[in-house]
Amino acid sequence: MTDKYRIAIVGAASLRGKELKDTLTESSFVTADVILIDDEELAGQLDVAGDEATFIQRIEKDSFDHTDFVFFAGDAEVTEKHWQIAQASGASLIDLSYAMEKVPGVLIEAPWLAEAGEGAPQKQPDLRTPAVIPAHPVSLALALLTSRLTEIGNLRFAAATVLEPSTEYGRAAMDELHQQTVGLLSFQNMPKEVYDTQVAFTAAPAFGEEAKVNLGASEARIRRHYALLAGNRLPHVGIQLIHAPVFHGYNLSLAVEFDQPLLLEHVEAALGGDHLDLVLGDAEPPNNLTSAGQSDILVRARTQSGENAATKGFWIWASFDNLKVASLNAVACALDLRKMRPQGKVQ
């Protein structure tokens, strides 16, 4: 018996792991006992969980004993190696690495949509659910946007161009963008171990053949997760993913066309609400810098023509902190799973 939840973060030294740790301390899991674990070469690093200093532990066979929740926030390879051991311990699994997406019974979840009754009805996890995967943050953002817009009219067309940051692929990708930038400015050799192409000072629609990351797979995941969240309730959205030469934060440009002309003020009113922070035209437009650390998705709308008259076509610009939104969604998934775990009793 225990008087509080016991949570393990696998990949605690990763960018996602660090953001998740901070998000947990700001949630109703603030009193939980959080264990930070990672692969052997990262073990021993000093970190902070809650108000207490702690060391990142290496992954052992007994690392998951008596845990209520295990978050996999590191590399997919680490998740693939250890998720079955974590599941055997009786813990509820939340996979931010997407490694378990093809495991039968695993659910893609977006509690923000479910709470508001937006999007397709989501299947509720039960004790037989192997794991929950928080929906990709871009899919979640698109579902929130299209759901609000369909409340004021029928969308006959929607297409999004998404600008992706290097932190989406972890610290190694971020470091390579930095090293490429420095190398180009100092006329030195440019490292390409992660991307196998130049990503500094250029928008990349694809990576090299020897890249360690896969832009096409990321785009397909966004498209797949959005389709699951949308079901038959939300419109189809064409999605193009471009890797931008920025370290942090997603930006996306969504073009929409309604069946009937609408005023901009009606579109702006629809976009306001939980998890979407509307930025009006007379304020500084949102970007990946102003959205850093923000819990909400910053949104701005304008007509496609630039005029204020009623029109069918609009541009929606959105910016959000990729790590923050992903962590908030993951914690929301854990809160849903908590219904199966009465506090004070480890299952």
Which amino acid is it at 44? Answer: G
- Long-range contact pairs involving 42-48 (C-beta distance under 8 Å, separation at least 24): 42/13, 45/13, 47/12, 47/13, 47/18, 47/21
Cα–Cα distance for residue pair 2/33, rounded to 1 Å? 10
The helix-helix angle for 137-149 and 264-271 (nearest 10°) equals 130
Gyration radius of the chain over CA positions: 21
Query: Domains (ranges, CATH) in the chain?
Result: 6-134+327-340 (3.40.50.720), 140-322 (3.30.360.10)
Q: What is the pLDDT of residue 293?
A: 94
Lowest-confidence region among 46-55, 79-88, 136-145, 222-231: 46-55
Per-residue pLDDT reduced to its tens digit, 97-119: 999 999 999 999 999 998 877 87
Q: Whose structure tokens read 């996999």?
A: 72
Backbone angles phi, psi at 9, to 5 degrees: -110, 110
Cα–Cα distance for residue pair 341/321, rounded to 1 Å? 30
Q: In DSSP terms, which residues pair with 109 in a beta bridge? A: 134
Lowest-confidence region among 38-42, 259-263, 294-298: 38-42
Cα–Cα distance for residue pair 330/314, rounded to 1 Å? 31
Which amino acid is it at 304? Answer: Q
Cα–Cα distance for residue pair 195/192, rounded to 1 Å? 6
pTM equals 0.91
CA 81 to chain centre: 22
Q: What is the pLDDT of residue 49?
A: 53
Q: What is the pLDDT of residue 2?
A: 41
Residue 72 makes CB contacts below 8 A (sequence gap 6+) with 10, 11, 78, 79, 82, 83, 86, 93, 94, 95, 96, 97, 99, 100
- Provide the token pair at 147: 């759901």
CA 48 to chain centre: 23
Cα–Cα distance for residue pair 68/134, rounded to 1 Å? 17
Residue 345 has pLDDT above 80, yes or no: no
Q: From edge to edge, which strands make up the β-sheet containing 276-278?
A: 238-243, 155-164, 250-262, 311-320, 297-303, 276-278
Higher-confidence position of 165 and 51: 165
In degrees to the nearest 10, what's the CA dihedral of 239, 133, 334, 113?
A: 30
- Provide the token pair at 92: 């509820």
Q: What is the pLDDT of residue 56?
A: 85
Residue 37 has pLDDT above 60, yes or no: yes
- Provide the token pair at 316: 């929606």
Lowest-confidence region among 125-134, 150-159, 239-248, 309-318: 125-134
Lowest-confidence region among 49-63, 165-179, 214-228: 49-63
Residue 346 has pLDDT above 90, yes or no: no
